Amino acid sequence: MLSKAVQDAINEQIKNELYSAHQYLSMSAYCESATLPGFAHWMRAQAQEEREHAMKFYDFLLNRNGRVVLQAIEQPVVDFGSPVEIFEQALEQEQKVTAQINELYGLMTRENDYASQAFLQWFLTEQVEEEKNVRDVLETLKMIGDEGETLFLFDRELGKRGDEA
């Protein structure tokens, strides 16, 4: 059985994941307005991943006989700047989510909730991948710069996200 503290924390994490999805969707919209359709596609795919993460927490809570209580999501940032600035903010967002997952794991450890700890293992691994993916794009952008033909080609490359499968 879930403790109230764990149930409340999972509900909070559902909100956090949905906020991340909302933020990435806002980044996608900004990239569309900046005529960067590849970047927009990448961010939109990232938003979908974050919604899937929220639903994993949602389903886990229900499977443990907990109660899902959806919370208000604050408005995301809507203006960003250069592609480098966008991905710097995306990296900060991923690092924040990593810290939230780590805090949640710590709570579950203190509560001796082994099933929840096992569930969170996937997220701990996923966050390493999430941060790496954003960091890789950011480092490439820092090398190629925020304008010109190379940025155009990189935008096209990012637009292929999801085509590998």
Domains defined along the chain, listed by start: 4-158 (1.20.1260.10)
pLDDT digits (tens, 9 = 90+) for 140-165: 999 998 888 999 999 999 999 877 54
Q: How far apart are CA 125 and CA 135, in angstroms?
A: 16
Q: How far apart are CA 76 and CA 89, in angstroms?
A: 12
| Beta carbons of 124 and 105 less than 8 angstroms apart | yes
E-only strand ranges, 11-131 = none
Q: Contacts for 113-122 with beta carbons within 8 Å, 24 or more apart?
A: 113/2, 113/3, 113/6, 115/64, 116/2, 116/6, 116/10, 116/60, 116/64, 119/60, 122/56
Per-residue confidence (pLDDT) for residue 164, from 0 to 100: 56
pLDDT digits (tens, 9 = 90+) for 98-134: 999 999 999 999 999 999 999 999 999 999 999 999 9
Q: How far apart are CA 60 and CA 119, in angstroms?
A: 8
pLDDT digits (tens, 9 = 90+) for 49-71: 999 999 999 999 999 999 999 99
Q: How far is CA 57 from the centre of its chain?
A: 14
